[in-house]
């Protein structure tokens, strides 16, 4: 591979993964020049880096608002990072803006899985089991069907599990992780509120 091609590839991989230049170079070397394998290596490393960063305190950030549909839907959102410097970057502001727009469009009810009340979850499981039973599904697959329905339920109502409206191949959790890698800080969605006129 020529040096120019390698530089282009490194640039592409940096943009795609948010990883640093040295990390991309070493991942490419480890992957034998295969860009797809390099992305996989970077993602695995990114997950462990994100886990380490998630232990750090995030008390800076932004509270942002978004108004949609001619003033009929509004969102208030708090996203935290570690430093005021990162909070003022265009990248961080773009993330917060995208998250607010996503919340307006996708109407999540909970921030993460832990916030789903036990009684709501029990009711969903009961409904899924009843539907599978009524459809004549055999007993030995009922549990898998219920688990699948609950995973789908989380995708519908839990913000961190939802598919990002601008890129359905990515969940909101993945999106936040991408920015953690890009900005090098712990980033957390602290809370949100979605308002619908007359509701």
pLDDT reading at 151 higher than 80: yes
Please name each of the domains of the chain with its CATH number.
Answer: 3-53 (1.10.8.10), 60-111+158-196 (3.30.479.20), 117-157 (1.10.286.20)
What's the predicted TM-score (pTM) here? 0.70
| Average of per-residue pLDDT across 116-136 | 87
pLDDT reading at 139 higher than 50: yes
At 170, which helix (H) or strand (E)? strand 167-171
For 139, the token pair is: 């007993």
pLDDT reading at 192 higher than 50: yes
Q: Give the start-end residues of each E strand in the chain.
A: 60-68, 73-81, 163-164, 167-171, 188-196
DSSP 162: S
User: Tokens 């208030």 sit at which residue?
Assistant: 76
Please list the residues that pair with 191 across neighbouring strands. Answer: 78
| Average of per-residue pLDDT across 24-35 | 83
pLDDT reading at 69 higher than 90: no
Residues 93-124 have pLDDT tens digits of: 999 999 999 999 999 999 999 999 999 999 99
């Amino acid at each position: 591979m020529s040096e120019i091609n390698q530089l282009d590839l490194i640039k592409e991989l940096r943009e795609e993964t948010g990883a640093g230049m040295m990390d991309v170079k070493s991942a490419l070397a480890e992957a034998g020049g295969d860009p797809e394998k390099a992305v996989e290596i970077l993602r695995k490393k990114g997950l462990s880096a994100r886990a380490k960063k998630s232990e750090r305190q995030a008390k800076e950030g932004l509270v942002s608002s978004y108004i949609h549909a001619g003033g009929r839907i509004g969102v208030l959102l708090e996203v935290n990072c570690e430093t005021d410097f990162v909070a003022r970057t265009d990248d961080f502001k773009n993330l917060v803006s995208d998250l607010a727009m996503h919340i307006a469009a996708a109407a999540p009810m909970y921030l993460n899985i832990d916030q789903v009340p036990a009684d709501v979850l029990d009711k969903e499981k009961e409904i899924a089991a009843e539907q599978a039973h009524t459809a004549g599904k055999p007993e030995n697959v009922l549990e898998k069907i219920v688990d699948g329905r609950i995973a789908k339920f989380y995708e519908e109502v839990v913000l961190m599990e939802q598919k990002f409206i601008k890129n359905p191949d990515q969940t909101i959790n993945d999106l936040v992780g991408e920015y953690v890698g890009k900005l090098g800080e712990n980033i957390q969605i602290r809370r949100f509120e979605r308002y619908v006129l007359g509701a």
